Structure 1
Amino acid sequence: MPDASEQEFVEYFSARLPMLQRLAYSLCGDGDEADDLVQEAATRLFQRWSRASRADHIDAYVRAVVVRLFLDSRRKGWWRIRLFAAPPDARHAEDGGVEDRTVLRAALAQVPPRQRAVLVLRFLHDLPVDEVARTMGCSAGTVKSQTAHGLAAMRRLLDGADLVETTKGAAR
């Protein structure tokens, strides 16, 4: 890759890094795994930069790479391997909004990966159905049905959960 193209890649990816980290974290719920997803996406994008940089919607292309890497990781199951017996102690804040987000994030983690990807893209990243379909490589009807199934699963999981502030609207 020539130096000018390499510099162009670095500038593009540096500008999109926060968005990609939010997307990856929203999908997997784990900071380290999110970093791994973003790093793998960067590697793949760098390898294909000459072709990818000419794409009409490069942000959509990169989002699709992250989502597909997430879904592939769930099929492969490497995330089930534990290096430690227990996770490190988590610090809890007193803010009720944090508790709500924690409950929602825990419920989202229990939703099947494709449904989780659809919910994250539709509601946390506010993408329209057609763009989610392109990102995931499926039809708009599949996105709609996965959304319905994912929301139903979230409702079942949250039915017994005691959210601290239910009147403030959707927690993000």
Structure 2
Amino acid sequence: MSDLEPDFGAFVAARATSLLRVAYLTCGDETEAEDLLQTALERTYKNWDRVARYDNPDAYVRRVIINAVINRARRRAILNIIPMHSPPETSVRASDPDLFHVLMDALRTLPPRQRAVIVLRYWEDLSETQTAEVLGCAVGTVKSQTSKAMAKLRSALGRETLEGAIKDAHA
């Protein structure tokens, strides 16, 4: 066992649930989310000696997850495959399962980067600056992607439903 394994194991034990939630919300499929998290953790472990020194190793893992989701979506788009998976039986955070299913269906219609911005901003409660760091983009890009995504969600769900879903996500 290397010196890095205990620290990495503690990190995974403490953060796996939160990171799995990010993976699920960005891809919309429970099995794919588990695969994405496993891939992200493998990549993180390979670089753990460097990542462990970061102020926020979570941001590194989130970025690996988001990049993997976007890359998979690009590959699917090239192959003209549109994934439409059903969400798991229970919601991640929403107390109203019907509202959660409606929200997940609407999230799946967003492009991967817009979906990632919404998940990081509203489920993970990251600031615009933190979201920009995770995604490796400018704060202005986060703002514009959030604005576009919220407009699409409002159009699909209606303002009251969307606001209720966002409040529910923070519950």
TM-score if structure 1 supplies the norm length? 0.82
Match of 2:167 in 1: 170
Match of 1:156 in 2: 155
TM-superposed deviation, 1:87: 7.1
TM-superposed deviation, 1:170: 2.6
- Given that residues 74 and 113 in structure 1 are in contact (C-alpha distance below 8 angstroms), is that contact kept between their aligned partners in structure 2? yes
Listed as ranges, the matches of 1:99-118 within 5 Å are 99-118=98-117
Can you give the 5+ residue segments of structure 2 that lack an aligned partner in the other structure? Answer: none
Aligned partner letter, 2:126 = L
Cα deviation, 1:50-105, whole Å, max 9, x if unaligned, reads 111122221212221111111111112289488xxx979x8699xx8110111011
Match of 1:129 in 2: 128
Q: What is the alpha-carbon root mean square deviation over aligned residues?
A: 3.2
- Structure 2 residue matching 1:170: 3-state secondary structure: helix
Q: Percent identity?
A: 36
Aligned partner letter, 1:111 = L
Residues 50 and 152 of structure 1, relative CA distance in 2, 3 Å threshold: same
TM-superposed deviation, 1:168: 8.3
Residues 75 and 18 of structure 1, relative CA distance in 2, 3 Å threshold: same
Match of 2:21 in 1: 22
1:97 aligns with 2:96: yes
TM-superposed deviation, 1:7: 2.0
Aligned pairs, how many? 164
Match of 1:73 in 2: 72
> Which deviates more, 39-48 or 61-70?
61-70
TM-superposed deviation, 1:171: 3.0
Residues 162 and 135 of structure 1, relative CA distance in 2, 3 Å threshold: closer
- Given that residues 121 and 131 in structure 2 are in contact (C-alpha distance below 8 angstroms), is that contact kept between their aligned partners in structure 1? yes
| Distance of 2:119 and 2:165 partners within structure 1 | 20
| Distance of 1:170 and 1:114 partners within structure 2 | 22
- Given that residues 115 and 150 in structure 1 are in contact (C-alpha distance below 8 angstroms), is that contact kept between their aligned partners in structure 2? yes
1:13 aligns with 2:12: yes
Can you give the 5+ residue segments of structure 1 that lack an aligned partner in the other structure? Answer: none
- Structure 1 residue matching 2:142: 3-state secondary structure: helix
